[in-house]
Structure 1
Amino acid sequence: MFKQLLAAAALTFAAPALAQPQMERVPDRPAGEGEGPFSTLLIRGATMIDGTGAPPEGPVDIVVRDNRIARIIRGGGAEIAADRVIEASGMFVLPGFIDTHGHNGDPAKAPQPSYGFKLWLAHGVTSVRGVGFGSGPNDPSIDQKQRSAANTITAPRLFPYTVPGAVGPFGTIDSPEEGREWVRWIKSNGYDGIKFFNNEPPHILGPILDEAEQQGLGTVAHLGQRGVAEVNARRAVELGLDGVTHFYGHFESLLDGSRLPNYPADYNYLDEQSRFAWVARLADQVGEPGSEGWDEYIDLLIENDVTLSPTFNIYSASRDVMRARNLDWHDKYTLPSLMQFYAPSLTNHGSYYHDWTSEDETAWRGFYRKWFDLTREFKDRGGRVTAGSDPGYIYQTWGFAYIAELEMLREAGLTPLEVIQAATINGAREIYDPKGQEPPIGSIKVGKLADLIIVPENPLANLKVLYGTGHTRLNRDTNQLETVGGVRWTIKDGIVFDAPALLEDVAAMVEAQKAAQP
């Protein structure tokens, strides 16, 4: 029975093209959910953090006409007739956040995609790169992308990537020629890029990457352990890969004294506790930061314009699983079905805390130190880092997980301004560079699309004020606890969404599922 359960887990993770029960269709955006776009929208008196890395400045007035930033008036005090005025004195305005590693969930854990969409928007995420949103002949990715672009659903801007063979009439990609044909097919059908799980041998991966570049499609890889002996991150970059997500492939490119990882004799990839407990011990097999091998590898990444989307948050429970189980937002905003999925399981991918010990957590803390060092040094040398959350796994709930990633980027050594840069213009450039386009999103500039966030508190002073549950602090005058922060308004395509109202919608979904339980 144990082997059967492990085999089921492996199929769930490794075969995205397998038929799955269908997600629910996203309902049309109801009247009154989001205001606008307006002929003229005025945001008055805010302090602006523009996403480029420039320092905050304010007060500024921002004039939006339809769905474009028309004017930025430094010093404020604009006397402009507007259809809608947001009084933002004392508040902070930022570009909409971009999540470069998103998923939609599945019918077992979060069957309605609007659950995740609303949580993203409520946390200021106005664009998501889906890696991926679905698969198979009924993949909803393109329909959802088009409906979001038309603003007929309540959702961030969507950029669907897909896995080789997961969509289209090809099945498994068996030759370089078939790989190129598949790339042309996804381009013609509206996909924005390709996500690899390291299932393709080099003689097929290389042509797919080459064709993707010719077609203006982005590429990113989760370089899983089963393929990393042939294609680690170094080899994938040499073949033309644009971006690496997670940690996979990095440390296998930095092994000290061997070409392959030294797996323990009882290692079993299909037993996820074995798989993830061992990952942390991989850090002991690589050289130290600053060594010749590290310097040469980071130089390679930078010379090839690679982007790193670390998704630090998705593995953070590995260093403190008790904390992850009891996060502030679970009771009100995490679906019971999602909490059940998160619980230790032989069949749910990522639910691997079967017997998680203090030794495992200590090993993961050590692993994070080297992973942080690698990311920080890459950033310091000019490499591009973006923010991705990989929600729906390992106690990481949509929206909240994204802010947790921003906190972990800060822990890795990015300054607060660099964290906001990673979350905004860097993410936009990762998505738009393969298209050969200057991003229309990701920074507050005249002419850019009106994707904006308005926050009552300063996120540069405390990223925790971006969480939907806010930040709890003691009022030293009254000696009473108070909750501050949370995004107040999220503006996507010039449409103003009330972030607290979106959170209440999500809370109602959670309560409805609780009430329906036997």
Structure 2
Amino acid sequence: MNVRFLVLGLALSIAAPASAQVAAQAAPRYWVRDVAVIPLDTDEVLSHRDVLIEDGRIRRIAAASGKLRVGDATVVDGRDKYLLPGFVDAHVHLATEGGIRASKDPTISGLDLGADHRYDRHVMLSLLKAGVTGAANLGGSVGSDDDLLRLRGEIDAGREPGPKLYVGKLINGPRAAVAVRPDGQPVPASKPEAPTTAADGIAAVQRAKQRGYDFIKPYQFLNRETYLAIVEEAKRQGYITTGHLPELGCASCADRAFAFAHPMTNIAHSEELARYGRIGSDLAPADIEALAQAVADSGMSVTPTLVTLKTIVGMYVQREVPAVPHGWNDTVDPVTRRDWAAPGNRYLSQAFRDQEGADTFSAGYDFARVLTRALWKRKVPLTVGTDAALPGLAFGVSVQQEMIELREIGLKPLEVLRAASLNAHRLFDPQAGSGAAREGERANLVLLDADPLADIHNTGKVAGVFTQGRWLSIGEIDRQLAQGAEFERGLQRQIEQRKAAAAK
């Protein structure tokens, strides 16, 4: 079963207003007073601590005695609050202005987006609002990727508010190259943009390196030879790989043993493993256990994306897009909302319902939950990913929804929080420290109003975030989102006018 929704590029970056830029320059030091620190690299909670943040790093964690010298630091009140590593969406498809501008869809191409990147800013703020201080984009259009690479630099330099971005290069071959049943279509000539040879697969990785991508996403329509070349060249270039397992069943395809013998760093969905466990028959419990052990033995980690399958099943059963959590509806931008509605949303189409295997979607969600639990029991590292903005999954809050999914299959809150932060830091940025809330570590942190170890739902009670060492309170995030409301309404009017014109 392969029910993947690739949102064609749409993400964001928007120039911060001058006041926000000045604030970032004028307040490089912060003093979080009397806060409970949850480092996450151990099971301890450091109660009543003062935390000094300077130059984007945690400089000092000391007992809250009032003796910490902080000079001109901006004070953040941490009383009755919890400071911990910020959350990371390890599988997201960010909507960008670059994707909109490059789109061939007349309803959105040529939209007046202004000159100050308001659209991009809206998406970034939506992530921060949920405590998401890191996001890994797993592939989009060339225009969308260009925008994200630019935006990554702006955020790193402190000129834009947003999470730490990791931009992945998706590399995929043509579907015809791995057709299990010949359809009479010739296989296109190989090229780095859609490689079917090892040489072009290697060239694709090298081009990604030259353009400054952060990691490689192999996709499933790569033949055996090309898949191996991409994985091996990525290693040589110092890249991690996270993506889809290769197809099975054709003459040039990989097989299960080959894929596990030449593993990616991370598998992008638990669902991907369904093809590797169920070959011609339903899976028995022993098959699931054997599959989980094979993953553990390979050394791969997994991003389960359980909420993704749950949402797809919801659309299949209910024939409508599930409602986003209360209070988050206004964060869904008009272009994304348009993609969620018919006819753009393929999950609401009759063709989707009529495809072979559609009646197994619900069982696929059950399989992913059982398999993910088996992976967890074998200590396979898990990360939190959402596949947002798949219909029904809003940027930011969907990370909290996935954390709840992992809690419901048995992970303890501490383990869920590690999956949502430390494991992702170690996957995408292994040279940049552990990601824990410790002295010397980078200050990408979330401040919560309630204890997430007592109830994972408390991850939704965000008081503010430190992103790249810069503080944004939830009030300031909401204020900046409200500033963009008129732009969002104008964008919606443009889309409606275009739809009306097309209808005529």
**TM-score of the superposed pair, with normalisation by structure 1:** 0.77
Conserved? CA contact 2:270–2:368, under 8 Å: yes
Cα drift, residue 23 of structure 1: 5.6
Amino acid at match of 1:194: I
Conserved? CA contact 1:387–1:422, under 8 Å: yes
1:455 aligns with 2:448: yes
Conserved? CA contact 1:44–1:89, under 8 Å: yes
RMSD over aligned CA atoms reads 3.3
Cα 1:98–1:201 change in 2 (3 A) is same
Cα drift, residue 67 of structure 1: 1.4
Cα drift, residue 449 of structure 1: 0.9
The answer for the alignment partner of 2:55 in structure 1 is 66
Cα 1:353–1:100 change in 2 (3 A) is farther
Conserved? CA contact 1:339–1:395, under 8 Å: no
Cα drift, residue 228 of structure 1: 7.1
The answer for the alignment partner of 1:139 in structure 2 is 146
Cα 1:351–1:234 change in 2 (3 A) is farther
The answer for the alignment partner of 1:397 in structure 2 is 394
2:86 to 92, 96, 102: 96
Q: 2:204 & 2:358 partners in 1: Cα distance?
A: 42
Amino acid at match of 1:129: A
Q: 2:201 & 2:313 partners in 1: Cα distance?
A: 39
Cα 1:185–1:24 change in 2 (3 A) is closer
The answer for the alignment partner of 2:38 in structure 1 is 49
Gaps of 5+ in 2: 101-107, 114-118, 174-190, 497-504
**Within 5 Å, which residues of 2 pair with 1:165-184?**
170-184=192-206
The answer for the alignment partner of 1:506 in structure 2 is 481
The answer for the alignment partner of 1:116 in structure 2 is 123
The answer for the alignment partner of 2:213 in structure 1 is 191
1:130 aligns with 2:127: no
Conserved? CA contact 2:24–2:158, under 8 Å: no
Cα drift, residue 117 of structure 1: 1.0
The answer for the alignment partner of 2:470 in structure 1 is 495
Conserved? CA contact 1:194–1:220, under 8 Å: yes
The answer for the alignment partner of 2:241 in structure 1 is 219
The answer for the alignment partner of 1:36 in structure 2 is 24
Q: 1:40 & 1:144 partners in 2: Cα distance?
A: 24
Deviates more, 1:27-36 or 1:84-93: 27-36
Conserved? CA contact 1:121–1:490, under 8 Å: yes
Cα drift, residue 206 of structure 1: 0.3
Q: 1:94 & 1:101 partners in 2: Cα distance?
A: 21
Q: 1:431 & 1:403 partners in 2: Cα distance?
A: 20
The answer for the alignment partner of 1:316 in structure 2 is 310
Cα drift, residue 512 of structure 1: 4.4
2:428 to 424, 428, 431: 431
Cα drift, residue 227 of structure 1: 5.8
Amino acid at match of 2:38: I
Cα 1:246–1:234 change in 2 (3 A) is farther
Amino acid at match of 1:80: R
1:236 to 259, 271, 291: 259
The answer for the alignment partner of 1:483 in structure 2 is none
- Secondary structure of the residue that 1:250 maps to in structure 2? helix
1:26 to 9, 13, 25: 13
Render the CA deviation track for 1:336-374: whole Å, top value 9, x for unaligned: 4433322343x43545588979xx999655443332221
Cα 1:176–1:49 change in 2 (3 A) is same
Conserved? CA contact 2:85–2:421, under 8 Å: yes
Q: 2:338 & 2:221 partners in 1: Cα distance?
A: 30
**TM-score of the superposed pair, with normalisation by structure 2:** 0.79
1:378 aligns with 2:375: yes
Gaps of 5+ in 1: 1-9, 263-284, 468-485
User: What count of residue pairs does the alignment treat as equivalent?
Assistant: 446
The answer for the alignment partner of 2:223 in structure 1 is 201
Amino acid at match of 1:200: L
Conserved? CA contact 1:98–1:127, under 8 Å: yes
Conserved? CA contact 1:102–1:130, under 8 Å: yes
**Within 5 Å, which residues of 2 pair with 1:291-330?**
291=286, 293-321=287-315, 324-325=322-323, 327-329=325-327
Deviates more, 1:111-120 or 1:40-49: 111-120
